[in-house]
Structure 1
Amino acid sequence: MIKYPFLENGATIGVTAPSSGVPAELHGLLKTACERMKMNGFHVICGDTVWNQDKARSASAEKRAEEFNAMMLDDNIHIIIPPWGGELLIEMLEYLDFDNIQNKWILGYSDTSLLLLATTLKTGIATAHGTNLIDLRGEYSDDTTKMWQSVLSTKKGESILQQSSFKYQKEWEFDKPTPCIFNLTEETEWKSTSNSKVTIKGRLLGGCIDTIRHLIGTPFGEIQNFKENYIKGESIIWFFENCGLSTTDLRRSLVQMKLAGWFESCSGIVFGRSPANYPVSNYTAEDVYKELSEELQIPIIYDIDCGHVPPQITLINGAYAEVESNSGKGAILQNFI
């Protein structure tokens, strides 16, 4: 059975950097984000790791794990939100105290999704794939991003519906932040390999494919144990987003997942918009999706609001979901059961 944390009003946010910290020249972004959270009624506690960044990481693996473990055990901290992702979170997994992880939300994406998926698979505690803290520093959040708080305040046994965005951000313009941080200029269009209405039902699992693929074959990526211990063999909806892989690397990663048994009892797959998906010899991402759909005989929806091309829907690892795509629009109903 999945365990769902619950976000109370006035909760205390623990900010730690399990992957990349914030370099000195960008400390202003983090301070602004923390102040915005306080203005919105939260309390904020920042760990030491968030203020440092050297050699592609915030601190040693042991230090990062120590701070995360301490925040998990601290009853005065109710949710953990890293400032952003990074590159080397995988180093700290072996030092995490999964036996004593508390039932509190962890929210983020990119490299943070490695921590999210490992935690849900190891413990059965739901985790939240969505916005990071830095992107909550605006005067307000767009309609898609702002749903993170409503989603995390959903009670066990209840459900919450999220709709596809109206527009998305094509390119990051860090020197031109809007009041909601993102520059939402392009029309959102959810697509599917069948070019028709698609509905998929199952338990959500996923994250940034660049990083979570490295859980395959480790004690932190045991899908079969998760299915037997926490969802009793129910079907899975995988959600992936590609940060930087070429189409051939994406294909290799998906085939490896298939060979490792990750797609057994899979009812469908959804892919987020990608800033990458670089074609190789005219082999496109759409080719990858179509081939995978045909091989697995499952529906695939792509270009959804998930990942490094914001805004993004808050997706809960472990939740039972109904995902629908029709005529370019989409919706995700998540049930906390």
Structure 2
Amino acid sequence: MNYPVFKEGATIGVTAPSSGVPSELHDLVKLSCSRMQSRGFGVVCGETVWTQEKAKSSPAQVRANEFNTMMNNDAIDMIIPPWGGELLIEILEYIEFEQLPSKWILGYSDVSALLLAVTLKTGLATAHGTNLVDLRGEYSDETTAMWQAILSTKTGESVLQHSSPKYQKEWTHADPSPCIYHLTEPTYWKTVSGAKTNIQGRLLGGCIDIIRHLVGTPFGDVRHFQKHFIHEDPIVWYLENCELPTTDLRRSLVQMKLAGWFEHCSGILFGRSSANRPVEGYTVEDVYQELAAELQIPIVYDIDCGHVPPQITLINGAYAEIEVDDGKGTVKQVFKP
């Protein structure tokens, strides 16, 4: 595994490999950039950030070219897209994977397809966490704010994160918060077994709505990654559901299982979700219980990951030890080569 080096005063490249930002929301990006500059970062925005048409910032080749250019620009130290979207998968065939230098890419939602593809194909660690627009607050909550400490971890070192004290149940845009999120509900991490749980292995994952579409493609070769980049270490999957009802979630998990993605898997972490709509009484807890029984592995759910903020920063490829007991959780990540 190759872990990028985070630099103090890093210059952030902002590009939109999925959705750009419509003109009426440009102020969100400008405020985000201003906040980052006030914290000592440089910021370079690409042209794709400022456009949005037909569910994408620009044509696939344009998006890919801007991403490739920023990754290979020595004046840019890391990439943080403004947010996710819907059609990032269109650019994967145009990404110059064999030429990607060692730089952090941070994001989630639709961006998780890019993160997972980069790590699986190249062994370059990528960061699943906050997006740029959600860093526009006067300050960040303690969970979100850890992104910088996580990315500052050096190869061979470790970093510890804790479950959040509270999470956000719903967005209240009419009542802006100085830290963006309205954290009102007590966080409680759960286990299928109901008992204290410890899971260890290499982290891989993202938004299941998105990364499931990498199954069977050249960008989703988990076996090759396991053999060539992580010395056959077990994998801990972290998955979060943005929009899927329980039956679609179940279908997606079965597809991943049949494709071999859960071979040599030591556990699965599921993020909180406002989706997970039951179908004819079939609940998400049923999905988790069935999967745990089939795979004979521990499953933890309602963790701080995904579209119900805040979220911890999870590094694709890092070795992690996850402990959950009585609703509280810790994630220790070791930047193991």
Q: Normalization by structure 1: what TM-score?
A: 0.99
1:32-60 CA-to-partner distances (Å, cap 9, x unmatched) read 00000000000000000000001000000
The one-letter amino acid paired with 1:268 is G
Q: Show the counterpart of 1:240.
A: 239
Distance 1:307 1:239 in 2: 10
2 CA distance for matches of 1:124 and 1:246?
33
Query: Equivalent residue for 2:275?
Result: 276
Counterpart secondary structure, 2:277? coil
The amino acid across from 2:46 in the alignment is G
Please say if 1:299 is aligned against 2:298.
Answer: yes
Residues 159-182 of structure 1: per-residue CA shift (max 9 Å, x gap): 000000000000112222200000
Q: Secondary structure at the match of 2:147?
A: helix
Secondary structure at the counterpart of residue 223 of structure 2:
helix
Match in the other structure for 2:10: 11
Q: 2:90 is aligned with what amino acid?
A: E
Q: Counterpart of 2:109 in 1: which secondary structure?
A: coil
What do you get for the CA RMSD once the two structures are aligned? 0.4
1:68 and 1:256 map into 2 onto residues whose CA distance is 30
Report the CA distance between 1:144 and its aligned residue. Answer: 0.1
2: distance between equivalents of 1:55 and 1:218? 25
**What pairs with 1:212-231 in structure 2 (closer than 5 Å)?**
212-231=211-230
* Structure 1: distance between partners of 2:228 and 2:280: 43
- Match of 2:116? 117
Q: Deviations over 1:254-293 (max 9, x none)?
A: 0000000000000000000001000000101110000000
Q: Which amino acid aligns with 2:13?
A: G
Deviation per CA, 1:198-225: give whole Å up to 9, x if none: 0000000000000000000000000011
| Match runs of 1:1-337 below 5 Å | 2-337=1-336
Q: List 4+ stretches of structure 1 deviating above 3 A.
A: none
Counterpart Cα distance in 1 of 2:124 and 2:176 = 35
Matched residue SS, 2:150 = helix
**2:49 alignment partner, SS class:** helix
State the SS of the aligned residue for 2:4: coil
Give me the whole-angstrom Cα distance separating, in 2, the residues matched to 1:24 and 1:275. Answer: 28
The whole-number CA distance in structure 1 between the counterparts of 2:153 and 2:173 is: 32
The DSSP-based 3-state class of the residue aligned with 1:94 is helix
Q: For residue 268 of structure 1, give the secondary structure of its aligned residue in structure 2.
A: strand
Q: Tell me the distance in 1 between the aligned counterparts of 2:253 and 2:222.
A: 15
- In structure 1, distance between residues paired with 2:162 and 2:126: 20
CA distance in structure 1 between the partners assigned to 2:52 and 2:58 by the alignment:
7
TM-score (norm 2): 0.99
- Matches of 1:271 and 1:325, distance apart in 2: 13
Aligned-residue sequence identity (percent) comes to 68
In the TM superposition, residue 232 of structure 1 has moved relative to its aligned partner by: 1.7
Matched residue SS, 1:277: coil
Q: Deviations 1:217-247 (Å, cap 9, x if unpaired)?
A: 0000000110111012110000000000000
**Cα deviations across residues 116-142 of structure 1 (Å, max 9, x unaligned)?**
000000000000000000000000000
Partners of 2:86 and 2:172 in 1: CA distance? 21
Q: CA–CA distance in 2 between the matches of 1:101 and 1:176?
A: 41
Deviation at 1:7, TM superposition (A): 1.0
Aligned residue type for 2:164: S
Distance 2:121 2:206 in 1: 16
Per-residue Cα deviation, 1:281-311 (whole angstroms, up to 9, x for no partner) = 0101110000000000000000000000000
Structure 1, unaligned runs of 5 or more:
none
